[in-house]
Structure formats: structure tokens, C-alpha cells
Structure 1
Amino acid sequence: MSTKERILQTALELFNSGNTQMATTNHIAKAMNISPGNLHYHYKNREEIIRVLYKQMRSKASLPIEELPTTILELNKHLKDLLEILWEYRFFYKELLFLFSRDSELEKMCVEDNLKHRQRIIKSIENFIKNGELELHNGQSTGYVADYVLMTEQFYFSYSKTLGKEIDRDSVRETINHINGVFRPYLTKKAIQNLKLD
């Protein structure tokens, strides 16, 4: 593993175990037993490291249009993969708005990606409707449901903290359960049978 890759791995471990404010580039360098100058040769500052980690996370989590789930069962399989990615980069969603306040470039990247991500969610919902597994009612739109999915995915960690809960693997599972819960009222009999739900 190259020094550049080790910096990212060490930073991710420190960010996840504490927070990004406490893990400076000096802390990262010390944990690696390298000089701060060596670290700064590869990354200008902590914000650049966070942006690279964010790009890694997005790359792992984002599906191309042609690979989007077409059934609720496929969605559940994707959510299980997403669970592992959320846990691997959990610092990001614990500190999302704070990170934006420190780095406008990161915020711009995330907003652009999120708009695309929202469209992918909408496309998936349209796939479920087309396949007869989802049926919206009471005038609700695909965008409305997509927004609830996005809010749950990106802010459940923060919500859990307001209830005094620790962020652990159970928190990630709860996030996935709540995303499934968003779809539950709109599942058709076909989807319920496919998922073997009561």
C-alpha cells in the first residue's frame, strides 16, 4: 500500500473513531509515524483528504442507471451493500452539515452528486411502479418519496444522536429498516408476496 493510500486509510480510521475536528493532519501523520511534511506532500490539508474519501464513498455507493434496482427485492440487496458503505464512511454522515460549513468545495460536490442521486432514486421508484410492486396514492409523487429516502439515508445518524443513541452497526441497520419503512405503505400485494412479508 502506498503512503498516499495509507494516509487515507489512517484518516478514515481516526475520523470514524472520533471526529474530523480532533483528527488534524498532524494527528494523522503521528498515527502513521511519518512527518507532517511527508503527509502534506501528498495532501494539502485535511479538507482535501475528506474530499477524496467522499469521492471514494460515492463511487462505491452510486449505481449507474442501467444497474438500478427494478424490483423491491433488488433494492433490498442493494441496501445491504449500502449498509457496509455507510458504516465504512460513517464519519461523513455524522458530521455532514459541519463538514459543509468548513469546506464549500465539498458542499458543492455533494449537492451536485445528491441531485443526481435523487434522480436515480426517482428512476428506481418508477421501475417499482412499472413492475407493479409500488403504488403511490393520495397525490404523492415519486419526488416526495425520494426525498424521504434521501433524508433517512443521510440524516438518520444525526437523528439518532438527538435521542442519545450511540452510532454503531445497529444504527446503520436501523437506517436501512427506515428506508424500507418509507416504501412499506406503498407496496402492492405482488411486492409483499415477493418479499414474504405479513
Structure 2
Amino acid sequence: MKTCDRIVYGSLALFNEFGVRNMTTNHLAAHLNISPGNLYYHFRNKEDIIRSIFDLYEEHLNAGFQLYHDDKLDVELFIGYFDTMFETVWKFRFMYSNLTAILNRDPELSTRYQHTQQKALNRSSSILHKLKADGVLAIDVEQVTPLADTMRMIAGFWIHYKQTHSHNESVTKAFLYEGLLRVLMLFRAHSTPEYCAMFTRLEQHYQLLVNHYATSVPTDVPVVV
């Protein structure tokens, strides 16, 4: 792996583990076993590294939320969508934990973030429109985009919500699956009778994951914020 990529992927792991505010460029260089000069050869500062991590974030979003084909309307389709939502927040959890501070420090990244989120909202709305057309959702056309935006809001700010309601709420997989269940509640509330049972099955699936990660020995290091 090229040194530039090592810095990006290594920094992502370290930011997730220790929190972005607790890691200086000197910390990053030491953890990656490279000299500070070598790190500065590739990146001017920590914000520059975060922008490269954001490239990975954009790629992940663009690859994960694509309009489904007509022959794929089943439980596995929805598990794919919800797993992608979970994996995005989990993989980039340091960013969701510190989003306001990160964007306030970097106006250029803030503009990119807004553009990326608008594209994600457009794709999500297209998926919901198709689900409505295919008889999965019972919702007025003008409510589709607000529903998609509400789901995006829950996913994007769930970490902040939980952490502001607890003094010691660490970011674990069980923690994030709880937020995913809230999104599923919205789907089930708007589902047609024909598909209500399927969303109930999905809720049971993810509740089992919440229970599993809540009771298993923790292997995930909490984010320090």
C-alpha cells in the first residue's frame, strides 16, 4: 500500500478509535510509524487528511444506495440497504460524532458535504418513489422526499442524539443498530398491509443484532469525544 493510502486508512482507524480532536499529526505519524516530515509530504495538515477520508465516504455512499431492479423486491433487498446505512455510519463514525466541529473548521469540506448529502437524498427519494410505485409504501407523493430526509436525519445525527442524552454513551454496534431500528419504524408506519409483515421481520432481524452486540464481550473501542 502506498504511503499516502496508509496515512488515509490508518488515520480513519485512529480517528474512530481515539476521536479526531485527540489525534494530532504527530500522533498520527507515530502510530503509523512514519516521520512527521513524511506525513507532511503527503498532507499539509489534519484537515487535508480528513478531506481524503471524505473521498472514501463519498465513494461508499455512491456505491451503496442504488435503485433496485424490479425482480429484487424482497427481504434481502432491504437488508442490503439497511446494512449499507449501518456500515456507512460505523465505518466513518468519527465524522458523525464530530460533524459540526469538522465542518465548521473547513468551509470547503462543508460545501462538499452539503452537495454529497443532497445527492444521497435524491437517490434515497428515488428509491422511496419506486417503493411507492411498487406497492410497498402508502404515502403521498409530496411526502416522499421529506420521509427520505427524516430517515437521513436519524442516521446522520443518531450518535449526537444518544451522546447528548447520556454522559457515558460510547459508539458501539448495538448503539448504531438501535438507530437503524428507528428508521425501520418509519418504514413500517408507511408500509402497505401487504408488506407490513416483512418490515416486522426486518425489525426482528435487527433487534437480534442489537441484543447480540449489547450482551457480547465488547471488541469495538468506543469513540472518545
Structure-1-length-normalised TM-score: 0.90
C-alpha distance in 2 between matches for 1:116 and 1:9: 25
Change (3 A) 1:191 1:169: same
1:144 corresponds to: 146
For residues 148-193 of structure 1, what are the alpha-carbon distances to aligned partners after superposition, in whole Å with 9 as ceiling and x for unaligned? 1111110000001012122111122112111111212110112124
Gapped regions of structure 1 (runs ≥ 5): none
Q: Which amino acid aligns with 2:57?
A: M
Q: Which amino acid aligns with 1:184?
A: R
For residues 79-129 of structure 1, what are the alpha-carbon distances to aligned partners after superposition, in whole Å with 9 as ceiling and x for unaligned? 113322321211010111110111111101000111111111111110110
C-alpha distance in 1 between matches for 2:29 and 2:171: 26
2:188 corresponds to: 184
1:72, 1:128 within 8 Å by CA — same for their partners in 2? Answer: no
Change (3 A) 1:64 1:5: closer
1:7, 1:39 within 8 Å by CA — same for their partners in 2? Answer: yes
Gapped regions of structure 2 (runs ≥ 5): 205-225
2:124 corresponds to: 121
Q: Which has the higher contact order (CA 8 A, sep 6+)?
A: 2
1:156, 1:175 within 8 Å by CA — same for their partners in 2? Answer: yes
C-alpha distance in 1 between matches for 2:20 and 2:64: 30
Asked if 1:109 is matched to 2:108, the reply is no
Alpha-carbon distance, 1:30 to partner: 1.1
1:160, 1:167 within 8 Å by CA — same for their partners in 2? Answer: no
C-alpha distance in 1 between matches for 2:138 and 2:22: 47
2:187, 2:199 within 8 Å by CA — same for their partners in 1? Answer: no
C-alpha distance in 1 between matches for 2:194 and 2:33: 57
Alpha-carbon distance, 1:140 to partner: 6.0
Asked if 1:157 is matched to 2:156, the reply is no
1:4, 1:42 within 8 Å by CA — same for their partners in 2? Answer: yes
Count matched residues: 196
1:83, 1:176 within 8 Å by CA — same for their partners in 2? Answer: yes
For residues 68-88 of structure 1, what are the alpha-carbon distances to aligned partners after superposition, in whole Å with 9 as ceiling and x for unaligned? 246473233221133223212
CA RMSD of aligned residues (A): 2.1
C-alpha distance in 2 between matches for 1:147 and 1:34: 42
1:72, 1:191 within 8 Å by CA — same for their partners in 2? Answer: no
SS in 1 for 2:170: coil
